[in-house]
Chains A and B, each alone.
Chain A
Amino acid sequence: MPEHSTNGRNAGSEHHDSEVNPAHIVSVQDFSPETLRSVIAHLEVSTDFDHLVYREAELDAIWTITGYFLTNEPHSNDRDLVRRLHVGVHEAHDFVAASRPEAAAEVLRAFL
């Protein structure tokens, strides 16, 4: 997955699984593997209504960023990959909306 995190930090990406707090919102400033790993780790421990709301917000943000990448980078070599991620994130978003965070995590793992 292409790196697009040069100007941002990702608070969630430094967490190990044992430290992941599902009540914290992952900082989404890119769609790098670190960001996806952090979102996946949070999906894996999300159980409550509020956790799923935060995960949906994170996936909304990744979907937004990938969508703008596809619009703004017509000649990028990563377009096919990002397009698949964009669709996958939408699918993961719908799994979260259906209270199925584990299915959403599974979808995202395919992009690591």
Chain B
Amino acid sequence: MLSREENELLTQTDPGTPAGNFFRRFWLPALMPWELPGPDCPPVRVRLLGEDLVAFRDTGGKVGLVDEACPHRRASMFFGRNEECGLRCVYHGWKFDVEGNCTDMPNEPDEYRFQNRVRITAYPTREYGGIIWTYMGDPDQMPDLPKLEWARVPDSHRYVSKRRQENNYLQAIEGGIDSSHSNFLHASVDAFRLTDEYVERFKNSSNLRAKYHIMDKAPVFTVKKTDYGLIIAVRRNADDDQYYWRLTQFMLPSYTIIPYQKGLSINGHCWVPRDDKTCFVWSVSWNPDGPLSMEDRESIRMESFIHEKVDPVTFLAVRNKGNNYLIDREEQKANSMTGIHGFAAQDQAVQESMGPVADRSRERLGTSDTAIIAARRLLLSEIRASAEGTRPHAAQHSDVYWVRSASLLLKRDVEFDEGAQELLKAEV
């Protein structure tokens, strides 16, 4: 549980709030590059950390991200003309470049123009890893981009998707690090009931997760603080004198990597506050060793795992709260726990059902919630330190993000962080 004050401290990210200032110390995913397909293309609206912004790609291909309101009369720059290296407000013609400089003020007589003294709020952007990123913090403290493995692989090795979720970012993160939910929310009915047929099918499977979930339904949770955030380890009894470990990272401010089995693709998320009641879910699949496989592409196309089809303007998912995520009650009776297709929609359904901002003063936690407790305590500590002027270590050290999740078997007398040391390093 959290006090109401702690909950508000964690979940409010508008300008001037402690958590908002904390997030503004990091580079954040903002747009898919295809939202701005070419020079002088139409501008698009972007809402981030409670700020209404407009993005545009100028004549030279540079991406600008500026306040939606023109500083003159507060008209929306979304209606602006994107022309000749700048975005021009259609109301009175004031024009701004990607750095926020006013380059034209045609409604003022020459002797009264003061364009050199006018600016629109503009945030720096970078294109990196299949995403347009932005930094919304103090320009004098702008860090390097995080050295995430998925951002460094060739485009053919990676798939990125973005969707909008109608709840605060924190309950989405909590879903990402809550490994106990996957045995229920994402399970088949057979897996949940451990039917004979299911056990027979997976007891000798190369799918270690399915195999060892059968053998041990009561995992042991461990969390450790790291220089990037947390490593969360879940241990199950395996054959003979071994444990099966699933290791996942929570990286500040809001990244996770799903436990990865060598030889398969890797999957992860980043959750970015849109405002206090909505967030963007960035989902990434990548293979460090080669292009994504046919199976990976098929999973993406079928929306069976973490990616989901969305409206290309609003980024709201096709399966959404308004249509009860297209729940199929017959499917729920016969096959899946939820009757909702795809892990992404399943996660979204339960996370949105908790309300826009979950009231954590009313929850009832148990010991399987240790990862969630740890993430909250870490974030609270980082947000408070940031409010006192301390720069987050992770934001200032991009190398700390060069890690990878893992799942593996280890002898019972081997500590997971020693036994998995090499596997936990990224390679690209």
Which residue numbers of A lie inside 8 Å of B, CB to CB?
A: 23, 25, 27-28, 48-50, 52-54, 56-58, 60-61, 63-64, 67-68, 93-94, 97
Contact = CB atoms under 8 A, between A and B. Distances in A.
A93 B223 CA distance: 18
B174 to A, nearest CB: 14
Contacts of A58: 367
B377 A61 contact: no
Interface stretch (B127-135, B330-338, B368-376): B368-376
B362 to A, nearest CB: 10
15 contacts: A23-B222, A25-B221, A28-B367, A50-B223, A52-B377, A53-B223, A53-B374, A54-B370, A56-B373, A60-B373, A63-B364, A64-B364, A64-B365, A93-B1, A97-B6
B3 interface: yes
Interface string B1-38: 10100100000000000000000000000000000000
Nearest to B2: A97
A57 B370 contact: yes
- Interface core residue of B1, B221, B225, B364 (most chain A CB under 10 Å): B1
B366 interface: yes
A52 B380 CA distance: 14
A14 to B, nearest CB: 17
List the 8 closest pairs (A to B, CB-CB), nearest first.
Answer: A60-B365, A64-B364, A53-B374, A57-B367, A49-B225, A57-B370, A25-B367, A61-B366
A50 B367 contact: no
A96 to B, nearest CB: 9
B412 interface: no
Contacts of A63: 1, 364
B224 interface: yes
A25 B224 CA distance: 14
Contacts of B6: 97
A26 to B, nearest CB: 8
Contact of B224 (A50, A60, A94): A50
Given A28-B367, A52-B377, 12 more contacts: A50-B223, A50-B224, A50-B374, A53-B370, A54-B367, A57-B366, A57-B369, A57-B373, A60-B364, A60-B369, A61-B366, A68-B364
A58 B368 CA distance: 10
A8 to B, nearest CB: 13
B392 to A, nearest CB: 16
B366 A60 contact: yes
Q: Majority SS of interface residues in chain A?
A: helix
Given A63-B1, A93-B1, A53 B366 contact: no
A63 B373 CA distance: 15
B364 A25 contact: no
B105 to A, nearest CB: 53
B366 A64 contact: yes
Contact of B1 (A52, A53, A60): A60
A23 B415 CA distance: 12
A63 B361 CA distance: 12
Interface string B353-388: 000000000001111011001100110000000000
A48 B225 CA distance: 9
Given A23-B222, A60-B1, A94-B3, A49 B366 contact: no
Contacts of A53: 223, 370, 373-374, 377
Interface string B180-200: 000000000000000000000
A49 B377 CA distance: 9
A53 B378 CA distance: 10
Contacts of A25: 220-221, 367, 370
A64 B311 CA distance: 41
Contacts of A94: 3
Contacts of B377: 49, 52-53, 56, 97
A50 B366 CA distance: 16
A54 B232 CA distance: 13
Contacts of A23: 222
B247 to A, nearest CB: 14
Contacts of B1: 60, 63, 93
Contacts of A49: 225, 374, 377-378
Contacts of A52: 377
Nearest to A54: B370
